[in-house]
């Protein structure tokens, strides 16, 4: 049992996006008599090359009482409506597919029969790209301005799109810090020399580099790749995904906008030994080449960046990581979030998405327990966190289940073993289209999966993981009136002016 009633101080180690979101969450959870303190090392910087959120970023901002217009103004945020995958199938210049943030309100998303989406199955069967059903795709294709995108999104379901944001990591952390401090959070710059735990492995104090000792009752570890709490102090076992995902290095950099306006999607551009992200901010693009160190090195990667983007690009320090997560991220009165709890790779913005889901469930459990949390609930939290990471691993592995084979990396990544969960799903997808029942078990014990069935469809269909024949089997199971409805809608989409 963990008793958080009557605590006097909760400490967050580390700032950044994760640390300041944690501080804001704790400030709401506990009374004003409880001190919330963020201890941030001046030696550890933020990789400020742009980040993108998922839809739960908007939910988290609202939950923390942050005005979205102010957020955009203070952080230089730009709309993010999904992802563009370029060169992942053939490597040709026109090889592109989209994973967009579709929203309810259109026939394709709202009509479910016999457990699946008939209109999506009709599109897959007829070889129609799924993004064509979204009216708002026209703004993406035409490189609409931020003002035009805002006007489109105000129409709500008519656009067919939901929005998250691209943002500057430095500006976001600075903004969240100012909001948190204005709400009474204590900000202290110091380096943590030691985390002191008692015989029950409960965190009791922090010893800082200035000799100060800080007593505490609850610790949130947002120390990034330093992983001071769960990893370094408690030695919790790491669960690696490197058997299924090859990428383990990234070279970040800045670049100018390649179009007149910031793109409304994150670009993921296939490269010889990995892929390049391009995250459009208002002023510039935050970019990086994430690669497999078994297939290239930093010198070759920088040469490729210069050839593709231009010789004036100045690469930043190479980031090293192992894809995976800690098996337990909440132990006693210590919880790790963000990079301190796990990381897979930048694809699909899973890091910030998972961090926000961790915080949402931590708050939900502590609040519903009135501060007295059973060990069983903590065990369930860790089980759900691990299951959510498994869903992320399987969803990302599907992206590499693609036909490209022109370099050693793309041949080797295709030959990697499939995770058992995804292998089972792929077998099913050869016979039918994805449905809710396939992916809902990635979220358990009150968690909300960060990828849903339509997300899976947007990636599985263009990669051929769901073949047209599988969709045909689905459609054949429908009554005649439903099949006619599908045929009518497919005919409308073929005639639609929405760009392909």
Supply the mean pLDDT for the chain: 95
The residue among 460, 473, 397 whose CA lies nearest residue 99 is: 460
What per-residue confidence (pLDDT) applies to 497? 55
Provide the pairing of β-strand 78-80 with 164-167: antiparallel
| pLDDT digits 0-9 by tens, 164-187 | 999 999 999 999 999 999 999 999
| pLDDT digits 0-9 by tens, 15-34 | 999 999 999 999 999 999 99
What per-residue confidence (pLDDT) applies to 76? 87
Q: Give the whole-angstrom CA distance, residue 419 versus residue 245.
A: 10
Beta bridge partners of 220: 12, 335
| pLDDT digits 0-9 by tens, 414-470 | 999 999 999 999 999 999 999 999 999 999 999 998 999 999 999 999 999 999 999
What per-residue confidence (pLDDT) applies to 328? 98
Q: Give the whole-angstrom CA distance, residue 116 versus residue 437.
A: 9
Provide the pairing of β-strand 203-208 with 213-215: antiparallel
Please check the confidence at residue 499 and state whether its pLDDT lies above 80: no
What's the angle, vertex CA 191, arms to CA 185 and CA 193, rounded to 5?
A: 120
Q: How would residue 45 be classed by pLDDT, with cut points 50, 70 and 90?
A: low
Please check the confidence at residue 160 and state whether its pLDDT lies above 90: yes
CB-based contacts of 119, cutoff 8 Å, min separation 6? 107, 108, 111, 133, 486, 489, 490
What per-residue confidence (pLDDT) applies to 367? 97
């Amino acid at each position: 049992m963990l008793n958080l009633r009557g605590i006097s101080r909760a400490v967050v180690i580390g700032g950044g996006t994760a640390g300041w979101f944690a501080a804001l969450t704790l400030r709401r959870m506990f009374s004003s008599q409880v001190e919330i303190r963020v201890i941030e090392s001046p030696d550890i910087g933020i990789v400020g090359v742009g980040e993108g959120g998922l839809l739960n970023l908007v939910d988290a901002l609202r939950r923390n009482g942050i005005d979205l217009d102010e957020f955009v103004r203070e952080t230089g945020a730009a709309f993010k409506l999904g992802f563009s995958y370029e060169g992942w199938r053939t490597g040709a210049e026109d090889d592109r597919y989209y994973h967009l943030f579709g929203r309810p309100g259109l026939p394709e998303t709202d009509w479910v029969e016999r457990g699946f989406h008939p209109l999506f199955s009709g599109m897959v069967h007829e070889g129609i790209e799924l993004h064509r059903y979204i009216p708002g795709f026209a703004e993406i294709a035409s490189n609409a301005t931020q003002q035009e995108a805002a006007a489109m999104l105000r129409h709500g379901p008519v656009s067919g799109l939901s929005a998250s944001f691209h943002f500057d990591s430095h500006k976001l952390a600075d903004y969240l810090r100012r909001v948190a401090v204005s709400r009474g959070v204590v900000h202290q710059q110091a380096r943590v020399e030691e985390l002191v735990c008692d015989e029950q492995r409960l965190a009791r104090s922090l010893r800082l580099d200035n000799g100060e000792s800080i007593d505490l009752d609850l610790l949130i570890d947002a120390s990034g790749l330093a992983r001071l709490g769960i990893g370094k102090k408690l030695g919790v076992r790491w669960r690696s995904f490197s058997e299924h995902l090859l990428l383990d290095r990234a070279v970040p950099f800045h670049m100018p906008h390649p179009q007149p306006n910031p793109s409304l999607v994150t670009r993921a551009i296939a490269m010889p030994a990995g892929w390049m992200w391009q995250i459009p901010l208002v002023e510039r693009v935050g970019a990086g080449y994430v690669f497999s160190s078994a297939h290239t090195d930093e010198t070759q990667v920088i040469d490729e960046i210069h050839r593709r983007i231009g010789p004036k690009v100045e690469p930043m320090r190479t980031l090293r990581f192992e894809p995976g997560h800690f098996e337990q991220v909440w132990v006693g009165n210590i919880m790790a979030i963000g990079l301190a709890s796990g990381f897979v790779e930048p694809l699909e913005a899973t890091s910030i998405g998972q961090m926000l889901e961790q915080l949402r469930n931590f708050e939900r459990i502590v609040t519903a327990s009135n501060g007295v949390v059973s060990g069983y609930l903590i065990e369930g939290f860790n089980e759900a966190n691990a299951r959510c990471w498994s869903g992320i691993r399987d969803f990302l592995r599907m992206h590499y289940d693609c036909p490209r084979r022109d370099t050693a990396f793309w041949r080797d990544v295709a030959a990697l073993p499939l995770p058992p969960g995804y292998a089972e799903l792929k077998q099913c997808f050869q016979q039918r289209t994805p449905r809710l029942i396939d992916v809902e078990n990635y979220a358990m014990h009150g968690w909300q999966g960060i990828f849903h069935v339509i997300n899976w469809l947007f990636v599985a269909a263009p990669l051929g993981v769901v073949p047209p024949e599988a969709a045909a089997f689905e459609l054949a199971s429908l009554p005649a009136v439903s099949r006619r409805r599908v045929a009518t809608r497919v005919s409308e989409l073929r005639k639609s002016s929405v760009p392909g």
